[in-house]
């Protein structure tokens, strides 16, 4: 609930207590109306409580509104339909409150105790990040920003895939086919190459697989040479990932990869055995689920004693619940891991671990224009994607604004190009597959990040203009708003805290994206309908400039919650 909603609620509660002495109530459901006709907020209190009070809803609503005291917020109150109460908010109240936006955002009344662990991005070592990692990275980052903004303590964890059978193969490849020069220049590319080389060669020469198993075993037993190589592969991979994260303005608090939990895995196996949750099946250890769960059995230890992805995730949860004061854990991966997490969560239920966990999955990204689909290997490297987007943005910026100097153009292109890629992802419903189209994402029209960044820059230009004309904003003056377009805009500004909370509870950054888009559209409608600096009345100019300033604050803050930067001119 936002502060405004809380205030509305408290006035309603006062009246309810006075009118209906026989009921006990400490919460009232208030919803923003979806149509201006029904006011700004609505409550269904009368309908929901009709039985308890023992009267028909319209009567209840009538009695109640007679007892609502005059106050600074309510303009008028009406009864609609079967007993809805429609509340209209006073514009002068909102106008005065508008001045406070930016000092503090009104999120109260949230239980933000404990730690929120967000597990996202998580590429596998020795593989370059590709387009598939984009979604987990940007959705995870946005969820992190939103939760932090709401006041939660967030731990952003990059659950790197740094343990597994690939290392045996990589070590064999490294020892036999490494191109040293290439490895120096482009280590991950070279590691990928020797990995592919291994797969090809082992098809003809089966003994290679045995060699790889031996190397893996050495690694697992702590052999020094194997360990050092493994560490080096991790180091060079992380260096490249970090370059990309930095470029995308993404930061993690921890990089605890799968290997970090290695010593906990035997403990998990013990516990699962002891509690009779895992059973031996053909030499392996397996968890079987009740039929009604509709889940495949989950292997937690192979015949040869090796642990699996499932074991490592169980160990990870054990670590997190022992080392953090968990509020919740949020995993962000693509849709193909749904069964995996359902199994893991079900096993934690069987263990009676009650921590709140969410698997936030997303649909896979596809290309419609085929630009990259012909590329060998069919994988689009994340860095190439970013380069391409920035290059395209550079061309557009240069065309639109030839007078900018080269540095400015480059800087704007980077912000617009990276923002466009992120927004193309974040603005879509998380669970739908994404069709990625260059022309659409870099358009300056419609629901794209350049359009939003441009709206922001436009407001900044108005502010510069005001400044050049020596018009100073005066916060002590009473604000006056008369035009419909500006009143609509102010009311919409007030939705911001509610939308941020909704985006958090549903883990859907796209709700926030939709909101910023709608806000920018409403701003542009206002901008076209009402003169700002050219108005006759100084108080109106002052009021409108304050409105502009606050709208720009929210666009910037909103984009920031999506991990997208802004520029003051473009
Ligand atoms: N490394 C995995 C992959 O690339 C994702 C890990 C997700 N996190 C987790 N705790 N399982 O598919």
Average pLDDT over residues 304-327: 96
Side-by-side strand order, sheet with 284-287: 278-281, 284-287, 298-301
Please name the residue whose Cα sits nearest to atom 4 of ligand 1. 123
pLDDT of residue 167: 94
Ligand 1 atom having least distance to the Cα of 133: 4
User: How does residue 370 score in pLDDT terms, banded at 50, 70 and 90?
Assistant: low
Tokens of 153: 């303590």
The set of residues, in sequence order, having a beta carbon less than 8 Å from that of 458 and lying 6+ positions away, is 527
Check if 331 has its Cβ closer than 6 Å to any atom of ligand 1: yes
Helix (H, G, I), strand (E, B) or coil at 213: helix
Check if 119 has its Cβ closer than 6 Å to any atom of ligand 1: yes
Q: Among the listed ranges 105-119, 270-284, 498-512, which one has the minimum average pLDDT value? A: 105-119
pLDDT of residue 108: 57
User: How does residue 494 score in pLDDT terms, banded at 50, 70 and 90?
Assistant: confident
CATH of domain 3-89: 3.30.1360.70
Q: Among the listed ranges 358-367, 413-422, 466-475, which one has the minimum average pLDDT value? A: 358-367
Q: Is 366's pLDDT higher than 90?
A: no
Q: Is 123's pLDDT higher than 70?
A: yes
Average pLDDT over residues 470-489: 93
Residue with the two structure tokens 């090809």: 200
Average pLDDT over residues 295-300: 97
Tokens of 169: 């193969």
Average pLDDT over residues 327-351: 97
> At what angle are helices 187-204 and 207-220 packed, to 10 degrees?
130
By the 8 A CB rule, do 57 and 47 touch? yes
C-alpha of residue 251 to centroid of ligand 1, in Å:
17
Check if 122 has its Cβ closer than 6 Å to any atom of ligand 1: yes
Check if 361 has its Cβ closer than 6 Å to any atom of ligand 1: no
Q: What are phi and psi of 355, to 5 degrees?
A: -60, 145
Instruction: State pLDDT tens for residues 246-269.
Output: 999 999 999 999 999 999 999 999
Judge if ipTM > 0.95.
Answer: yes
CA 20 – CA 557 distance, rounded (Å)? 43
Please name the residue whose Cα sits nearest to atom 6 of ligand 1. 122
Please name the residue whose Cα sits nearest to atom 11 of ligand 1. 313
Ligand 1 atom having least distance to the Cα of 316: 10
pLDDT of residue 444: 76
C-alpha of residue 315 to centroid of ligand 1, in Å:
14
The set of residues, in sequence order, having a beta carbon less than 8 Å from that of 550 and lying 6+ positions away, is 98, 101, 102, 493
Q: Is 33's pLDDT higher than 70?
A: yes
Check if 124 has its Cβ closer than 6 Å to any atom of ligand 1: yes
Q: Among the listed ranges 80-84, 95-99, 270-274, 332-336, which one has the minimum average pLDDT value? A: 95-99
Ligand 1 atom having least distance to the Cα of 333: 7
Instruction: State pLDDT tens for residues 201-233.
Output: 999 999 999 999 999 999 988 999 999 999 999
Average pLDDT over residues 332-336: 94
In testing the pocket of ligand 1, which one of 137, 321, 333, 335 has its CB within 8 Å of the most ligand atoms?
Answer: 333
Check if 5 has its Cβ closer than 6 Å to any atom of ligand 1: no
Helix (H, G, I), strand (E, B) or coil at 57: helix
Ligand 1 atom having least distance to the Cα of 334: 12
Q: Is 373's pLDDT higher than 60?
A: no
pLDDT of residue 40: 94
CA dihedral for 436, 437, 441, 447, sign (positive or negative): negative
pLDDT of residue 375: 39
pLDDT of residue 317: 98
By the 8 A CB rule, do 421 and 441 touch? yes
User: How does residue 124 score in pLDDT terms, banded at 50, 70 and 90?
Assistant: very high
pLDDT of residue 372: 45
In testing the pocket of ligand 1, which one of 120, 337, 340, 382 has its CB within 8 Å of the most ligand atoms?
Answer: 337
pLDDT of residue 378: 53
Q: Is 374's pLDDT higher than 50?
A: no
pLDDT of residue 446: 87
Average pLDDT over residues 315-339: 97
Instruction: State pLDDT tens for residues 162-182.
Output: 998 889 999 999 999 999 999
User: How does residue 132 score in pLDDT terms, banded at 50, 70 and 90?
Assistant: confident
Q: Is 414's pLDDT higher than 90?
A: yes
In testing the pocket of ligand 1, which one of 159, 260, 343 has its CB within 8 Å of the most ligand atoms?
Answer: 159
pLDDT of residue 570: 87
pLDDT of residue 106: 57
In the chain, which residues fall in CATH 3.30.1360.70?
3-89
The percent of residues in the chain predicted with pLDDT above 90, rounded, is: 80
C-alpha of residue 312 to centroid of ligand 1, in Å:
10
Average pLDDT over residues 141-153: 95
C-alpha of residue 389 to centroid of ligand 1, in Å:
27
Instruction: State pLDDT tens for residues 14-23.
Output: 999 999 988 8
pLDDT of residue 131: 74
User: How does residue 112 score in pLDDT terms, banded at 50, 70 and 90?
Assistant: confident
By the 8 A CB rule, do 184 and 236 touch? no
The set of residues, in sequence order, having a beta carbon less than 8 Å from that of 24 and lying 6+ positions away, is none
């Amino acid at each position: 609930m936002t502060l405004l909603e809380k205030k509305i609620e408290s006035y309603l509660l006062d009246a309810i207590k006075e009118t209906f002495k026989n009921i006990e109530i400490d919460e009232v459901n208030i919803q923003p109306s979806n149509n201006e006709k029904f006011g700004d907020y609505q409550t269904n209190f009368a309908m929901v409580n009709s039985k308890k009070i023992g009267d028909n809803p319209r009567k209840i609503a009538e009695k109640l509104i007679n007892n609502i005291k005059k106050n600074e917020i309510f303009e008028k109150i009406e009864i609609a339909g079967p007993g809805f109460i429609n509340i209209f908010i006073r514009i002068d109240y909102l106008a005065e409150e508008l001045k406070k936006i930016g000092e503090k955002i009104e999120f109260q009344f949230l239980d933000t105790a404990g730690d929120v662990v967000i597990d996202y991005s998580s590429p596998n070592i020795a593989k370059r990040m590709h387009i598939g990692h984009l979604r987990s990275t940007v959705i995870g980052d946005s969820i992190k920003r939103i939760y932090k903004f709401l006041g939660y303590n967030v731990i952003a964890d990059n659950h790197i895939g740094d343990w597994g059978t690939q290392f045996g193969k990589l070590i064999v490849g490294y020892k036999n086919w490494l191109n040293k020069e290439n490895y120096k220049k482009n280590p991950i590319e070279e590691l990928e190459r020797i990995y592919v080389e291994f797969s090809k060669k082992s098809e003809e020469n089966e003994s290679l697989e045995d060699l790889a198993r031996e190397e893996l075993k050495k690694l697992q037993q702590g052999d020094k040479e194997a360990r050092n190589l493994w560490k080096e592969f991790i180091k060079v991979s992380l260096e490249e990932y970090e370059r990309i994260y930095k470029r995308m303005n993404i930061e993690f608090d921890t990089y605890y990869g799968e290997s970090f939990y290695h010593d906990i895995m035997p403990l998990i196996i013990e516990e699962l055995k002891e509690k009779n949750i895992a059973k031996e099946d053909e030499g392996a250890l397996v968890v079987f689920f009740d039929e009604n769960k509709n889940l495949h059995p989950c292997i937690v230890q192979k015949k040869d004693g090796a642990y699996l992805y499932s074991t490592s995730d169980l160990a990870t949860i054990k670590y997190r619940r022992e080392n953090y004061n968990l509020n919740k854990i949020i995993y962000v991966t693509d849709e193909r891991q749904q069964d995996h997490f359902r199994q893991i969560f079900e096993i934690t239920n069987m263990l009676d671990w009650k921590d709140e966990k969410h698997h936030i999955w997303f649909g896979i990204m596809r290309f419609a224009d085929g630009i990259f689909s012909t590329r060998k290997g069919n994988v689009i490297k994340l860095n190439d994607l970013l380069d391409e987007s920035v290059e395209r943005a550079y061309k557009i910026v240069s065309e639109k604004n030839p007078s900018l100097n080269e540095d400015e153009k480059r800087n704007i292109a980077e912000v617009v190009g990276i923002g466009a890629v992120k927004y193309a992802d974040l603005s879509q419903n998380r669970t739908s597959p994404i069709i990625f189209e260059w022309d659409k994402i870099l358009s300056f029209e419609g629901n794209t990040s350049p359009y939003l960044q441009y709206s922001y820059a436009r407001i900044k230009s108005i502010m510069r203009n005001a400044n050049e004309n020596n018009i100073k904003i005066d916060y002590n003056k009473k604000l006056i708003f008369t035009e419909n377009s500006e009143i609509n805009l102010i009311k919409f500004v007030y939705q911001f805290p509610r939308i941020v909370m909704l985006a958090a509870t549903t883990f859907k950054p796209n709700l926030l994206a939709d909101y910023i888009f709608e806000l920018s559209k409403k701003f542009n409608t206002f901008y076209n309908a009402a003169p700002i600096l050219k108005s006759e009345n100084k108080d109106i100019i002052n009021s409108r400039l304050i409105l502009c300033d606050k709208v720009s604050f929210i666009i910037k803050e909103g984009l920031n919650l999506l991990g997208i930067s802004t520029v003051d001119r473009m």
